Amino acid sequence: MTVRVGSTERTGRGGAGFDGAGITVLKVGGASTGGVAAAVAAISEPVCVVHGAGPQISEEMARRGLVPEFVGGRRVTTPEVLEVVRESFAAVNAAVCAAIGPRAVPLSGDEIGLEAELVPELGLVGSPRPSAPAQVLDALAAGLVPVVSPLARGPLNVNADEMASALAVGIGAQRITFLTDVPGVYRDGELIQSIDAARAETLVVGGAFDGGIVPKLLAAALAARNGVAAEIGVTAVVA
């Protein structure tokens, strides 16, 4: 599968003799990992989990006297913050794997070759490129559940929503589901059942949304425009 993100063309579904058909990528936030085992069990197709660790990172930063700073939902990452990010990802990854059980395979994105372009104004932060790591495909082909931390080569800190979307596109997943601690996307105080990808992007640019929903909407829109069915809770993001 060939995808284009911006001006960059990438090729996915490579290696491991596994074509990605039927895969669901499940993205879980640091605050919503409690439901991951049930969510994985409810999916009959091959599933890959990508997790965040936002609350854990912010809590540990506060303990160390580091002040969190966000731009467009992405965390500004200094070398000191990156240390916290890596430790928090490792802890959440272990917890998610323990919840899923013996089928879970812990994977750190920078170690398996996830790619990202440096975003200098955010420090050690990357904008992910679609990729299809062999370790992810091998695990899926074996009937296992890869659990991926959103670090990229560098290492670079990558927003988990963006990484999940880029990985879904890269491996040619059928679906990406964002598991959150809210039912879905709210617009003018009402829970919406679906939103067009282009409309979502326009509303984000216009400031209609803020906070953590921004990267989720943009990530879901990117996936939808590249042929991956995308859902944020009950809200479908459609191309």
Q: Which tokens hold the place of 222?
A: 């990117």
Which residue from 226, 192, 227, 209 is spatially nearest to 72, judged by alpha carbons?
A: 209
pTM value surpassing 0.75: yes
Q: Is position 105 within any domain?
A: yes
Higher pLDDT, 98 or 20: 98
> Could you count the other beta carbons within 10 Å of the beta carbon of residue 45?
12
Asked whether residue 146 carries a pLDDT value surpassing 70, the answer given is: yes
Position 146 in a domain: yes
Whether 177 is covered by a domain: the verdict is yes
Q: Which residue has the higher pLDDT, 34 or 72?
A: 34
| pLDDT (tens digit per residue) in 217-230 | 999 999 999 999 99
The two three-digit tokens of residue 19, written as one number? 């074509």
Q: Tokens representing 199?
A: 């409309």
pLDDT at 26 over 50: yes
Q: Rounded to whole angstroms, how far apart are CA atoms 125 and 57?
A: 15
* Distance from C-alpha of 230 to C-alpha of 222, rounded to nearest angstrom: 9
Residue 44 lies in a domain: yes
Mean per-residue pLDDT over the chain, rounded: 90
- Residue 146 has what DSSP assignment? E
Cis peptide upstream of residue 106 (ω within 30 degrees of 0): no
User: Residue 155 corresponds to which tokens in the numbers above?
Assistant: 């290492």
> Is 233 inside a domain boundary?
no
pLDDT of res. 180: 87
Scan for tokens 């440096």, then name that residue: 118
Cα 23–194–34 angle (5° rounding)? 55
In a domain, 229, yes or no: no
On the question of pLDDT at 104 being above 50, the answer is yes
Mean pLDDT, rounded, for 8-13:
37
State pLDDT tens for residues 111-142: 999 999 999 999 999 999 999 999 999 999 99
Question: What's the pLDDT at 18?
Answer: 60
**Could you tell me the CATH number of the domain that includes residue 117?**
3.40.1160.10
CA-nearest of 115, 121, 106, 188 to 158 is: 115
Q: Give domain status of residue 211, yes or no.
A: no
pLDDT in the model for residue 31: 79
Q: Which residues contact 77 (CB under 8 A, 6 or more apart)?
A: 85, 122, 123, 124, 125, 156, 157
CA 108 – CA 90 distance, rounded (Å): 8
Residue 95: give the domain boundaries. Answer: 2-193
Confidence band for 20, pLDDT divided at 50, 70 and 90: low
